[in-house]
C-alpha cells in the first residue's frame, strides 16, 4: 500500500468495487479500495442478487438498466464468472388499482427507453412461471432483462476488472479515523496512514461510522431482511427452463430459482431495525436467527402463491441486515463543507444499482457532474432535519414496510411528520388545511371541510372540486397561499453583485427589481430556475425550490468567491402570497405605502399592517400578485392581517394543488419536472432569459448549443383528451405509433376546463396543432400541441393591465 492515492474507496462490497472500477475505467488508475475484512463481508455476501428494471424513479430505473447491461461486460473483462442467470422477470398485480398502476408503469418504462417489457395476462404469467398460482391475479408485466447473479462472484469481477485497469485492492485493512487536510484527507488505518485527494464512503452497514469520522451524520439505518431457500422442488426438475424472477406485490414476496429449489424473499410489514448507530466493527459474515413468527403472514401468502413450497422443506434461512435511507434510494455524491468527501452508501439494491452508482459518482468526481440526472439519489436531497434518530427510524421503517405497498400520487405518508411547521400551521389547520411535506416542512395542499378524507387514487381525486374552487377564487378575486415552502438565500458582501453576475446566466435586476434567472453548469445543463431580488441596499435574495436548499448551497459553496456571503434564511423568513384581480385592493387596504406604483417584477420594503415586510410583485399563478415575506415570528399576524383585509374582496386560502393547476394554464415550468439538471436552457425555453453579452458559468456550452442545430427535443404545452384522469409525468408521447417524447408534468386546468400537460417532444412535433397521443394511467388518449399559456397568453392579468 502506497502512502498516497488520488482516491481511497472505503468498503469492499459491490458498491465500493463498482466505484473503484469506474474510476479506473474513466482514466483515474491511482485509486485504491480498503476493506476491513474481505470483499463482500457485510451485506453483499448474503444478498439475493436480483436484478430488475422496475423503480418508482425513472432516472434510477435508467441507471438500473445501465447496470444490467454492464454485468456481462464486467464478467468478460475480468474473466471472473458472475453467475448471471437472465431468466426474465414478472411483476404481478392482484388488485384493480395495482393492475392500473402496473399498466401505467409499463408506459413510463417506454418513456425512458426500456423497451423489453410487455404486459401479460395471469394465464401467460402462469406459463412463464408454472409454480406460481394465478389465483386472484389480474395481470402482470414481463421484462426480458431480469434475473440474478452470484453476489460474491460479481463483487470479485468488479474488483478484478478494476485491478486490471491499474487500481489496487487491500483487504484486512481497517479504517480507524479520517482527518481533513488542506489538500484532501488523511486515512488512518490499522496498517498505516494513507493520504488522498478524495475519499469515498462505500461503507454499507458501517457508513454511519465512516460519516461520523468526517463529522457527517448520514440518514441511514440497517434493517433485517429475510429470505429462504427451499429444498428441491420436483416440478422444477421437470422443467427445461429456469422460472423467472417473480414479484408478487400483494404478497410482499419475490422469488427466483436456486438450483432446483427457489429463493423466496420477504419484505416484512413488521419491520425490525438493527444497530441504528452502525454495525459493530467485528460483524461481517454473520446472520441473525430467522424470526418466523414476525414473518408468518407474508410466509402464508408466499406459500399460497407458490403451492409447491408446501410440499418441500426449507434448506436455508437468511436473515441479514441491509442499510436504507429514508426514501430507500442511495445517498451518493459530494458533501457540502467537506471537500473531497464522497458518499456511495444506502444502496440497498447494490447488485442492481451498483453499476449506475459507480458510473455516476466516477463521472461526478472526474468531470464535475454525472451524465444522468441523479438528484433522486443525491445525498444533498436531505438536510440537517434528517439527522434525527427518530426521523431516521420512522422513515426507513416506513419505506421498508411499504416496499411492495402501492403509494398513490396524492397519498400523504405519516412517518417523520409533522417535523417543521410554519407559525400559522395551527391556524391554517383549523381552517381546513390538508398538508404535504417538502424537505421536512409541512406545506398546505388544499383546504377542506371538517371530516373530509381524500381517497388515494391514480385518477382525479375527490378533492378535485375543492381545488377547483380555490382556482376560481384566485382567478376571480384573490387567493392567499402560504409561501414558507420556498427557499430564500441572502447574498451580501462587496463581491455579491459580481458573483451573482457570474453564476447566473441572466441579466441581474436593477435596484428595487426582481428577475428570473437560470443557473447553468459548465456543460450547459440547468442548475436552477431561480428568482433574484435586488433590494437596493446591497443585499440580494435568491429564491427557488425549498427542497433544493442543501443542493443549491453546495453549488454556491463550490463556486464561491472572496467577499461574498450566502446565508440560507428559509427557516427564518416565511410569508404569504396574494394573487388575483383583487390583490392590489387588498394590499392597499393593509399598507399606507404607495403599493400601487410597485411595478411588475418590482420589489421593496413595505409596512403591511403592523409588520415591516419585503414584498415582490410577481405571481406563479399568472395573476396580479404579491409575495410578502416576514419573519417566522410574524407569520400568524401576517395571515390574520391579509385575511381581515381580504374578506371584503373575496379572498380565499389556497394550497399548492391549486397552484399546480394555475401554473399549468400559464405553461410555467417547475423544477423536477420541466426543469432538471438533465436538461439545457434551450430545451426548456429558459434560454430566453440568458444574457449572451456577459460571461457566466456554462456560457461556452450554451453558445455551442445555440450555434448548432438546437436541442433534439423541446418543451411544449399539450391539451389532452382525458376523462377521469390527467397526466402526471413520464407518460410516453406518440405520433403514428412512434415514441416522440414524454410528459414532464400535467393536471387539470380548472379555469380553461381542459386537461393539460407539458412535455418534451422531438423538434418536428413541436408545432402548434400537431396531433399526438399519450398514455394516461395506461390508457391511450389524444393530445394536441397548443400555444403556450392557454390562459391569458398576453399576460395582461399578471401585469395588472
Give the tens place of pLDDT for each residue, 441-454.
999 999 999 999 99
Domain annotation covers residue 441: no
Q: Is the pLDDT of residue 171 over 90?
A: yes
**356 and 224 within one domain:** yes
On the CB side of 190, CA atoms within 13 Å amount to 10
Q: How far apart are CA 108 and CA 548, in angstroms?
A: 25
Residue 446, domain member (yes or no): no
Tell whether 360 and 496 lie within a shared domain: no
Q: Please check whether residues 107 and 180 belong to one and the same domain.
A: yes
CATH assignment of the domain containing 524: 3.30.70.1400
Is residue 580 very low, low, confident or very high in pLDDT (cuts 50, 70, 90)? very high
Task: Answer yes or no: do 690 and 725 share one domain.
Answer: no
DSSP state of 763: G
Give tens-digit pLDDT for 515-546: 999 999 999 999 999 999 999 999 999 999 99
Percent of the chain with pLDDT strictly greater than 70 = 100
Q: Are residues 169 and 270 in the same domain?
A: yes
Same domain assignment for residues 691 and 743: no
pLDDT (tens digit per residue) in 87-101: 999 999 999 999 999
What is the mean pLDDT of the segment spanning 30-59? 90
- Residue 379 inside a domain? The answer is no
pLDDT bracket for residue 801 (50, 70, 90)? low
Same domain for 151 and 212, yes or no, is: yes
Q: Residue 238's domain is classified under what CATH number?
A: 3.50.50.60
Report the sign of the C-alpha dihedral through residues 123, 91, 743, 665, in that order: positive
705 lies in some domain? no
Q: Read off the DSSP letter of residue 95.
A: S
Cα end-to-end span (Å), the chain: 72
Q: What CATH number does the domain containing 729 carry?
A: 2.40.30.110
**pLDDT tens sequence across 123-139:** 999 999 999 999 999 99
For residue 620, the model assigns a pLDDT of 95
Count other Cβ atoms within 10 Å, centred on residue 309.
Answer: 22
User: Contact 228/71 with Cβ under 8 angstroms?
Assistant: no
Q: Do the domain assignments include residue 122?
A: yes
pLDDT band at 62 (very low <50, low <70, confident <90, very high): confident
Q: Is residue 660 in some structural domain?
A: no
Decide if 495 contacts 562 (C-beta within 8 A).
yes
Domain's final residue, options 644, 664, 696:
696
| Segment (H or E) for 568 | strand 565-568
Reported as a single tens digit per residue, the pLDDT across 394-437 is 999 999 999 988 889 999 999 999 999 999 999 999 999 999 99
Residues 692 and 769 in one domain: no
238 shares a domain with 104: yes
Number of domains in the chain: 3
- Which of 696, 724, 758 represents a domain boundary (last residue)? 696
- Whether residue 463 is contained in a domain is answered as no
Q: What is the mean pLDDT of residues 18-33?
A: 98
Q: What is the band of 56 on the pLDDT scale with cuts at 50, 70, 90?
A: low
**Burial state string for 678-716 with b = 16 or more CB within 10 A and e = fewer than 16:** ebbbbbbbbbebbbeeeebbbbebbeebeeeeebebbbb
Residue 491 has pLDDT above 70, yes or no: yes
499 and 561, same domain (yes or no): yes
Residues 600, 583: Cα–Cα separation, whole Å:
13
Using DSSP, state whether 318 is helix, strand or coil. Answer: strand
Which of these three, 645, 663, 696, is where a domain ends?
A: 696
Whole domain around residue 516: which residue ranges? Answer: 486-569+684-696
Q: Confidence band (pLDDT; 50, 70, 90) for 58?
A: confident
Q: Judge if 688 and 728 occupy the same domain.
A: no
Q: What pTM did the predictor assign?
A: 0.96
* pLDDT at residue number 683: 96
Structural domain includes residue 103? yes
73/112 same-domain check: yes
Amino acid at each position: 500500500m502506497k502512502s498516497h492515492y488520488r482516491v481511497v474507496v472505503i468498503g469492499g462490497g459491490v458498491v465500493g468495487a463498482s466505484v473503484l472500477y469506474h474510476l479506473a475505467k474513466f482514466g483515474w488508475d491511482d485509486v485504491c479500495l480498503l476493506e476491513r475484512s474481505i470483499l463482500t463481508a457485510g451485506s453483499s455476501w448474503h444478498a439475493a442478487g436480483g436484478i430488475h428494471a422496475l423503480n418508482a424513479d425513472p432516472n434510477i430505473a435508467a441507471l438500473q438498466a445501465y447496470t444490467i447491461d454492464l454485468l456481462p461486460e464486467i464478467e468478460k473483462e475480468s474473466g471472473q464468472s458472475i453467475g448471471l442467470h437472465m431468466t426474465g422477470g414478472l411483476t404481478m398485480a392482484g388488485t384493480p388499482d395495482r393492475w392500473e398502476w402496473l399498466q401505467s408503469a409499463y408506459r413510463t418504462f417506454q418513456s425512458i427507453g426500456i423497451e423489453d417489457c410487455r404486459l401479460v395476462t395471469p394465464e401467460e404469467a402462469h406459463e412463464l412461471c408454472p409454480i406460481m398460482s394465478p389465483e386472484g391475479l389480474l395481470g402482470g408485466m414481463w421484462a426480458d432483462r431480469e434475473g440474478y447473479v452470484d453476489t460474491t462472484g460479481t463483487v470479485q469481477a468488479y474488483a478484478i476488472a478494476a485491478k486490471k485497469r491499474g487500481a489496487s485492492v487491500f483487504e484486512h485493512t481497517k479504517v480507524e479515523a479520517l482527518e481533513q487536510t488542506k489538500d484532501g484527507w488523511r486515512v488512518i488505518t490499522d496498517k498505516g496512514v494513507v493520504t488522498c485527494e478524495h475519499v469515498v464512503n462505500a461503507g454499507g452497514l458501517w457508513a454511519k461510522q465512516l460519516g461520523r469520522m468526517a463529522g457527517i451524520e448520514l440518514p441511514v439505518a440497517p434493517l433485517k431482511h429475510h429470505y429462504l431457500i427451499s429444498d428441491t422442488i420436483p416440478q422444477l426438475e421437470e422443467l427445461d427452463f429456469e422460472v423467472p424472477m417473480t414479484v408478487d406485490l400483494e404478497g410482499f414476496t419475490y422469488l427466483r430459482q436456486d438450483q432446483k429449489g427457489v429463493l423466496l424473499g420477504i419484505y416484512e410489514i413488521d419491520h425490525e431495525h438493527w444497530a441504528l448507530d452502525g454495525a459493530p466493527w467485528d460483524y461481517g459474515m454473520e446472520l441473525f436467527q430467522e424470526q418466523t413468527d414476525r414473518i408468518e403472514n407474508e410466509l402464508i401468502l408466499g406459500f399460497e402463491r407458490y403451492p409447491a413450497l408446501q410440499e418441500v422443506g426449507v434448506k436455508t434461512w437468511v436473515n441479514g441486515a441491509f442499510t436504507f435511507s429514508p426514501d430507500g434510494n442511495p445517498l451518493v455524491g459530494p458533501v457540502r463543507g467537506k471537500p473531497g468527501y464522497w458518499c456511495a452508501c444506502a444502496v440497498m439494491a447494490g447488485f442492481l444499482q451498483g453499476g449506475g452508482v459507480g458510473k455516476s459518482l466516477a463521472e461526478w468526481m472526474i468531470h464535475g457532474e454525472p451524465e444522468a440526472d441523479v438528484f433522486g439519489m443525491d445525498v444533498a436531497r436531505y438536510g440537517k432535519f434528517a439527522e434525527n434518530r427518530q426521523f431516521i427510524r420512522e422513515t426507513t421503517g416506513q419505506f421498508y414496510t411499504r416496499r411492495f405497498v402501492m403509494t398513490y400520487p396524492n397519498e400523504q405518508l405519516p412517518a417523520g411528520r409533522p417535523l417543521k411547521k410554519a407559525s400559522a400551521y395551527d391556524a391554517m389547520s383549523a381552517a381546513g388545511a390538508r398538508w404535504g411535506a417538502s424537505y421536512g416542512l409541512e406545506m398546505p395542499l388544499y383546504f377542506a371541510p371538517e371530516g373530509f378524507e381524500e381517497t388515494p387514487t391514480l385518477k382525479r381525486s375527490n378533492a378535485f372540486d375543492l381545488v377547483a374552487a380555490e382556482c376560481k377564487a384566485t382567478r376571480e378575486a384573490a387567493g392567499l397561499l402560504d409561501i414558507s415552502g420556498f427557499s430564500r438565500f441572502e447574498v451580501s458582501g462587496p463581491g455579491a453583485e459580481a458573483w451573482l453576475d457570474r453564476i447566473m446566466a441572466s441579466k441581474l435586476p436593477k435596484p428595487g427589481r426582481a428577475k428570473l434567472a437560470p443557473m447553468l453548469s459548465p456543460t450547459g445543463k440547468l442548475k436552477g430556475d431561480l428568482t433574484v431580488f435586488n433590494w437596493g441596499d446591497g443585499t440580494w435574495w435568491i429564491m427557488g425550490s425549498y427542497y433544493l436548499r442543501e443542493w443549491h448551497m453546495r453549488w454556491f459553496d463550490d463556486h464561491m468567491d472572496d467577499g461574498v456571503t450566502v446565508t440560507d434564511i428559509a427557516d427564518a423568513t416565511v410569508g404569504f402570497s396574494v394573487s388575483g384581480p383583487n390583490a392590489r385592493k387588498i394590499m392597499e387596504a393593509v399598507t399606507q405605502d404607495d403599493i400601487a406604483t410597485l411595478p411588475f417584477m418590482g420589489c421593496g420594503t413595505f409596512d403591511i399592517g403592523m409588520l415591516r415586510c419585503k414584498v415582490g410583485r410577481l405571481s406563479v399563478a399568472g395573476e396580479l400578485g404579491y409575495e410578502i415575506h416576514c419573519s417566522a415570528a410574524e407569520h400568524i399576524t401576517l395571515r390574520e392581517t391579509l385575511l381581515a383585509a381580504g374578506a371584503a374582496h373575496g379572498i380565499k386560502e389556497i394550497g399548492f394543488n391549486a397552484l399546480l393547476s394555475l401554473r399549468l394554464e400559464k405553461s410555467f415550468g417547475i423544477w423536477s419536472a420541466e426543469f432538471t439538471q438533465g436538461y439545457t436552457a434551450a430545451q426548456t425555453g429558459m434560454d430566453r432569459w440568458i444574457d449572451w453579452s456577459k460571461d457566466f458559468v456554462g456560457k461556452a456550452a450554451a453558445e455551442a448549443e445555440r450555434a448548432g442545430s438546437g436541442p433534439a427535443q423541446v418543451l411544449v404545452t399539450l391539451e389532452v383528451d382525458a376523462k377521469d384522469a390527467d397526466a402526471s409525468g413520464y407518460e410516453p408521447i406518440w405520433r403514428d405509433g412512434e415514441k416522440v417524447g414524454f410528459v414532464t408534468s400535467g393536471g387539470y386546468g380548472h379555469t380553461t376546463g381542459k386537461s393539460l400537460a407539458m412535455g418534451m417532444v422531438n423538434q418536428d412535433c413541436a408545432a402548434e396543432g400537431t396531433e399526438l397521443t399519450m398514455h394516461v394511467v395506461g390508457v391511450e388518449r389524444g393530445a394536441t400541441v397548443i400555444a403556450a399559456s392557454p390562459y391569458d397568453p398576453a399576460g395582461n392579468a399578471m401585469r395588472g393591465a
